[in-house]
Structure 1
Amino acid sequence: MKRWGLMIIVSLFLAGCTAFSAVGQPEQPQEAVVKQTEAKPLPKDIHLVALGDSLTEGVGDGEGKGGYVGRLVPLLAAEDRVRTVTVTNLGKRGRRSGELEPVVDAHQGELKRADLILLTIGGNDVMNVVRSHFFDLSYERFAKESKLFADRLDHLLISLRIANPDAVIVLVGLYNPFSTTLPNIPEIDDVIAEWNKASQVVLSRYDRTIFVDIQDIFTDRDELLHRDEFHPNAAGYEQIATRVYHALNEQKEWWVN
């Protein structure tokens, strides 16, 4: 009887210790519980408006994929936070910077909905200087026109910001396709660099803007040009799309939040 009594007492003691351990276990921190149950942000529908010249239109793309804009879309759509990408492409061959204001005025609805506004402009402004002064081209003529171009770009940015204060605006810079066609202007690389620098200064005055420099992509790379020796070919557009995507990826919080 004493042995059974001792065993009962020990059993009750062990049961009490087990119950105490379960009750006395520290609770999981509330912060950890919140982290486990926190929902991920919903994927976003991205509205993209592309403005500008033949590079936006995709002239020279022998594969018919829509130039750099068409190649950028699947890269953006593959992002975890992106559900769909809707594109309005307003690019037109031959368009100069002074011809974009009416386009902006005519497409206020699309611009207001835009999360991203892509822009290529300036190449035809440079070509206009070439055509107008082919026999007396000089660095000074390009420099003078660069200042006028910067003023027009500034007014364009104002119009875009009035239409949409929040969209990310991406300006793709100029490149030099003239290495073989303008031998009488050996400083043409410097001309293009100066125009790009002027564009960067303009964009720096506005929030949520990105300048994408592509001049180096086409330096001594004629294999990236269309047979017209001016527009990119399919491979050239692929390079531009990749460069623009990386630039957007560095500022992802601007357009996916």
Structure 2
Amino acid sequence: MGILEDRLDEQNYDVTFDNFGKRGNRTDHLLKRLHEEPEITKALEDADIVLMTIGANDIMQIMKDNFMNLTVEPFVEAREPYGNRLSEIFDYILSVQPEAEVYLLGFFNPFEKYFGDIEPLRQILTRWNHKSLEVTNQYDQVTYIPMQDIYQNEAQDVFAEDNFHPNSKGYELIAERVINYLENDIDEAQN
């Protein structure tokens, strides 16, 4: 959020951020937190824009649970429940703040640099991104921001030491893309 906030400040936007992200959270965790942490609900009540990235840890959990016998089937089976949880998340957010514009960032492939384009993994990410897009398209106020291609042509290193989360350069690229999507809604919220 820091890089995004800095970029928006540089463009003279008057924005404030509440960051409720938790490393390792999956969609089931977020649903539970929405219902159990009143500070999140309070922040949503005051929000003009909600920016979220959720679901990558759902995919990672499937990988961890099936590491010794990794096949495509568990990813296929988990995709629909993921979409259902995503709908529940959007329903909750919009029930708390019906005027909010919600943005969901898609998934990127953190393994592409080290393992090349592994076709099954690319297909899994593409299908989960498609599920995210399908769910967001059910809501007038929810926008999907594609990220799968964000690092494909990047020569610089864009990942942190864990080789999964972005480093500052990676976050800068994400921030640029997010700003491209947010600008109109930020302008409207400023007026």
SS in structure 2 at match of 1:162: helix
Aligned CA distance change for structure 1 residues 139 and 250 (closer, same or farther; 3 Å): farther
Aligned CA distance change for structure 1 residues 209 and 256 (closer, same or farther; 3 Å): farther
* 1:228 lines up with 2:158 in the alignment: no
* 1:92 lines up with 2:16 in the alignment: no
Q: What is residue 127 of structure 1 aligned with on the other side?
A: 60
Q: How do 1:96-175 residues align onto structure 2 when only pairs under 5 Å count?
A: 96-105=26-35, 106=37, 107-175=40-108
User: How far apart are 1:75 and its partner, in Å?
Assistant: 3.0
Structure 2 distance, partners of 1:122, 1:157, is: 13
User: How far apart are 1:190 and its partner, in Å?
Assistant: 1.2
**1:176–1:219 Cα contact (<8 Å) kept:** no
User: How many residues matched?
Assistant: 186
Q: What is residue 249 of structure 1 aligned with on the other side?
A: 183
Structure 1 distance, partners of 2:31, 2:127, is: 24
Q: How do 1:8-47 residues align onto structure 2 when only pairs under 5 Å count?
A: none
RMSD (Å) for aligned C-alpha atoms: 2.1
Structure 2 distance, partners of 1:117, 1:123, is: 18
Which TM-score applies when normalising by structure 1?
Answer: 0.66
**Percent identical residues:** 32
User: How far apart are 1:137 and its partner, in Å?
Assistant: 1.4
Instruction: Write out the 4+ residue segments of structure 1 that deviate beyond 3 Å after TM superposition.
Output: 77-80, 179-183, 250-257
Structure 2 distance, partners of 1:182, 1:99, is: 29
- Quick check: which one's strand share is greater? 1
Find the structure with the greater CA-based Rg. Answer: 1
* Greater Cα shift, 100-109 or 225-234: 100-109
Structure 2 distance, partners of 1:126, 1:206, is: 24
Aligned CA distance change for structure 1 residues 181 and 146 (closer, same or farther; 3 Å): farther
Which TM-score applies when normalising by structure 2?
Answer: 0.88
Structure 2 distance, partners of 1:208, 1:86, is: 20
Q: Unpaired segments of 5 or more residues in structure 1?
A: 1-68
SS in structure 2 at match of 1:216: coil
User: How far apart are 1:252 and its partner, in Å?
Assistant: 5.0
Aligned CA distance change for structure 1 residues 135 and 180 (closer, same or farther; 3 Å): farther
SS in structure 2 at match of 1:117: strand
